[in-house]
Structure 1
Amino acid sequence: MKRIYVVGTADTKGEELAFLADAVTAAGAAVARVDVGTRGALVPVDIAAKEVASHHPQGTSAVLVTNDRGTAVAAMGEAFARFIESRDDVAGIIGIGGGGGTSIITSGMRRLSLGVPKIMVSTLASGDVAPYVDVSDIIMMPSVTDMAGLNRLSRVVLHNAAQAIAGMARTPAPAASGKPALGLTMFGVTTTCVTAIAEELRADYDCMVFHATGTGGRSMEKLADSGLISGVIDITTTEVCDLLFGGVLAATEDRFGAIARTKLPYVGSVGALDMVNFWAPETIPEKYRDRLFYRHNPNVTLMRTTAEECRAIGEWIGGRLNACEGLLRFLIPEKGVSALDIEGGAFFDPEANRALFEAIEATLKPAPNRRIQRLPLHINDPEFARAAVAAFREIAS
């Protein structure tokens, strides 16, 4: 039987944890009370902190036998993430916490598949929650008051949270049906291409377009890891530029990792690899001050990548794609990689592009499942979009 996991630090938030679990039970849901505290529980729980801590790679002692609170919180976060991944009865998860509890519990929430209901009632929920949510679908709910004993307001907040998680778990979203889902990456400077691809494939696929802003690429790969998409057309790989050269819309080192892990059919390209993104001009690092820039808007400034940088980008991408054992096609538009990289455009630089293309070809090891195709086209030419569609249909079939 699936249960709602009610999670908190029973050593410091025991009263609130018990109240929340009772409220979820009263709403008609089965619950599992989970303690992620690092000292003794003050209320009864179903899953003790010691059991959670045993999932740490170095065992229980790495979590519970330490006098340093920061170390214990970090270790419990890792243990809880591994613990929750091991469960097959999670109908939803709701957590309560301050700084430490929020860090621990959201570490586990982020490991769960998208679509599994997740609510975090937190004292931190009205601030910058990006480190806790990342690319997951966690709902951050402000506790308003600190959790230092129940009061008339905290009871209302916890009651509402209990009703929300119980309702979501009781009436889950209908299972996806019909067309398989397809992930695509797009930037403003590749919109023409990606829009044309999506229009061509929409009759057969549920096309999900992700803005290549760092979080966009990670969101798409999270869906891939969660088994929620059936293929990827990764036209816009620009996040790699920001990763390697300090831009503000960066991928992580795990870019393309989900493609390797899932072996999904994949068509990639070099969209917007001609640019690194920064905010307003005054935010640009001093070492780049003499470079070629394009002011996209008052808050976003683009820097043209050099031939040397393009070579490093190409080698990085090729190296990552070598780990992909699924069917893979990589298309190279010889006449330009973005709307700015076109003859007469602000970023037109055939020499830099040549370094990029040659580095990818030299690094990506030939294999029956992997193929590079050069096309005498610009990335936004209609013929390029049609070639990408044809490549995907070939490998998806």
Structure 2
Amino acid sequence: MPKTIAILVTLDTKDQEAAYLKDQIESKGDNALIMDIGVIGTAGITADLSRESIAEAGGTPLQHILENPTREAAGPIMVKGSIALLQKLITEDRVHAVLGLGGTQGTTSCCNIMQALPYGFPKIMVSTVASGDTSSFVGIKDITMMFSVSDILKLNPFTRKVLSNAAAAACGMAQTGSVFEQQKSDKPLIGISNLGVITKGTIKAIEHFNAKGYEVIVFHAVGSGGRAMEQMMKEGIIGAVFDYAMGEIADDVWKVLRAGGPERLTVAGKLGLPQVLCPGGAEHLGILVPENEVPEAYTDHDHVFHSPIVFVPRLNAQEMEQVADSICERLQHTQGNAYFLLPLQGVGDYSKPGGALEDKVSDAAFFARIKEKLPKGITLMERDAYIEDTEFVTEAADLLISLIEKQ
């Protein structure tokens, strides 16, 4: 069956590109729906969804925007209107993929729109800035970024090839027939946070949950991963949490690589979801550096290089207390329905007995602070085990299952 690809574009500057994309999509047997998110210039071709209709859906008539037009004022209105129209079309099964074109401003607007669309819905952004740091554009949604290489400013032989590839990708994604939806079950989908230093334990947890009839989604706890896990909690996709990795909290205290943001570790408590918490990877930081270069501020810290450009310093006792304080403060929203397990023999591969960053004094300070400040509604359990030990992982997983089955 033919699918419909929505094209997000400013037709005052990218009319040729939009027309070419439309032809490419239709040549593959699918339909194109051009949405004009421009405001000021004259559209070079006719849109299927006009800028007037998008502005109206955004809550402000276009004529009012044009009375004193600025990008700062117009952008949010066109984004809001596009989101409203696309969400309706997606719900009605009338749009099956979205494809955006843009430079810096266009990429910002298109990606803001895409970030509001459902997980699993195909989203492709052809952008002049897709070769750099795209984290602010992608956020925590599954947006595919395609670097245009040349500027997106009228057609040429190379641009035609890039746009042809983008059209083919959008049509292919729309035609897969695969839909992201949780299978009907009386068992909730479990979210698991993970880091490389505790992956063996995570695999054991996955296998144990699967054996008990539960499906899981694992998130790499590098900032975006933890935030995505919590967004899926908000959207009702994830119904229980095995929060096995807390490196995002340590990095957030120092605002470095894996920083999870101020909301991290608060959402499950606010929603009352069953959760089991373990401080995996919370004893070190991840810091981007020039290859194999030790930052001046950490020359007095034990350290390793996780990769040539990811520097990993071991936190000392005082710094570990700061991490514990942040963890406990975030968990104030959790008033029950939760266990916190302390693995006294180490919270990750670097700090286990014999590990490169083993430091029992620092560990002891961290554990003592957690015990002192953890909210009373959370059940604290200490185990003389390493975080990846089979017995530890199995007990933690079974505790989460017990919380789920009490609901």
What residue identity is the alignment partner of 1:289?
A: T
What residue identity is the alignment partner of 1:304?
A: R
Aligned length: 394
Comparing 303-312 and 352-361, the one that deviates more: 352-361
1:207 is displaced (CA, Å) by 3.7
1:72 is displaced (CA, Å) by 5.0
What residue identity is the alignment partner of 2:268?
A: I
1:388 is displaced (CA, Å) by 0.6
CA distance, structure 2, for counterparts of residue 52 and residue 178 of structure 1: 36
CA distance, structure 1, for counterparts of residue 339 and residue 321 of structure 2: 20
Match of 1:35 in 2: 36
What residue identity is the alignment partner of 1:186?
A: N
CA distance, structure 2, for counterparts of residue 129 and residue 25 of structure 1: 30
1:99 is displaced (CA, Å) by 2.2
Residue 154 (structure 2) pairs with residue 149 (structure 1): yes
Match of 1:136 in 2: 141
Comparing 118-127 and 231-240, the one that deviates more: 118-127
Q: Which runs of 5+ in 2 are unaligned?
A: none
Residue 340 (structure 2) pairs with residue 330 (structure 1): yes
Conservation of the 8 A alpha-carbon contact between 2:292 and 2:311: no
Q: Give the 3 Å change call, closer, same or farther, for CA 59–194 of structure 1 in structure 2.
A: farther
1:192 is displaced (CA, Å) by 3.5
Comparing 241-250 and 74-83, the one that deviates more: 74-83
Alignment equivalent of 1:200, drawn from 200, 208, 218: 208
Match of 2:6 in 1: 5
Q: Give the 3 Å change call, closer, same or farther, for CA 342–167 of structure 1 in structure 2.
A: closer
Match of 1:319 in 2: 329
Q: Give the 3 Å change call, closer, same or farther, for CA 146–292 of structure 1 in structure 2.
A: closer
CA distance, structure 1, for counterparts of residue 237 and residue 47 of structure 2: 34
CA distance, structure 1, for counterparts of residue 130 and residue 29 of structure 2: 27
Alignment equivalent of 1:188, drawn from 182, 190, 196: 196
1:350 is displaced (CA, Å) by 3.9
Residue 295 (structure 2) pairs with residue 294 (structure 1): no
CA distance, structure 1, for counterparts of residue 323 and residue 74 of structure 2: 37
Alignment equivalent of 2:381, drawn from 370, 373, 378: 373
Match of 1:93 in 2: 98
What secondary structure sits across from 2:382 in the alignment? strand
Conservation of the 8 A alpha-carbon contact between 1:53 and 1:64: no
1:143 is displaced (CA, Å) by 3.5
Q: Give the 3 Å change call, closer, same or farther, for CA 163–392 of structure 1 in structure 2.
A: same
CA distance, structure 2, for counterparts of residue 121 and residue 334 of structure 1: 49
Paired residues for 1:344-355 under 5 Å: 344-355=354-365
Match of 1:121 in 2: 126
Q: Deviations over 1:27-52 (max 9, x none)?
A: 45455432222314513334444554
1:282 is displaced (CA, Å) by 6.0
Match of 1:339 in 2: 349
Comparing 50-59 and 373-382, the one that deviates more: 50-59
CA distance, structure 2, for counterparts of residue 378 and residue 159 of structure 1: 52
Match of 2:229 in 1: 220
What residue identity is the alignment partner of 2:322?
A: A
What residue identity is the alignment partner of 1:191?
A: T
Conservation of the 8 A alpha-carbon contact between 1:193 and 1:385: yes
What residue identity is the alignment partner of 1:220?
A: M
Conservation of the 8 A alpha-carbon contact between 1:318 and 1:363: yes
1:347 is displaced (CA, Å) by 3.4
Conservation of the 8 A alpha-carbon contact between 1:225 and 1:258: yes
Conservation of the 8 A alpha-carbon contact between 2:54 and 2:82: no
Conservation of the 8 A alpha-carbon contact between 1:81 and 1:111: no
1:344 is displaced (CA, Å) by 4.9
Q: Deviations over 1:321-348 (max 9, x none)?
A: 2234783322122332223334454434
1:243 is displaced (CA, Å) by 1.5
CA distance, structure 1, for counterparts of residue 102 and residue 56 of structure 2: 21
1:74 is displaced (CA, Å) by 6.0
1:238 is displaced (CA, Å) by 0.9
Q: Give the 3 Å change call, closer, same or farther, for CA 143–337 of structure 1 in structure 2.
A: closer
What secondary structure sits across from 2:259 in the alignment? coil
Conservation of the 8 A alpha-carbon contact between 1:192 and 1:380: yes
Residue 110 (structure 2) pairs with residue 105 (structure 1): yes
Alignment equivalent of 2:46, drawn from 23, 44, 47: 44
Question: Normalising by the residue count of structure 1, what TM-score does the alignment of the two structures yield?
Answer: 0.82
What residue identity is the alignment partner of 1:150?
A: L
Conservation of the 8 A alpha-carbon contact between 1:25 and 1:31: yes
Conservation of the 8 A alpha-carbon contact between 1:267 and 1:388: yes
Conservation of the 8 A alpha-carbon contact between 2:57 and 2:85: no
CA distance, structure 1, for counterparts of residue 280 and residue 199 of structure 2: 10
CA distance, structure 1, for counterparts of residue 337 and residue 60 of structure 2: 37
Q: Give the 3 Å change call, closer, same or farther, for CA 358–156 of structure 1 in structure 2.
A: same
1:257 is displaced (CA, Å) by 4.8
Q: Which runs of 5+ in 1 are unaligned?
A: none
CA distance, structure 1, for counterparts of residue 227 and residue 15 of structure 2: 35
CA distance, structure 1, for counterparts of residue 310 and residue 269 of structure 2: 32
Match of 1:249 in 2: 258
Q: Deviations over 1:83-130 (max 9, x none)?
A: 468533452211112222112101111222221011112233344434
CA distance, structure 2, for counterparts of residue 316 and residue 136 of structure 1: 26
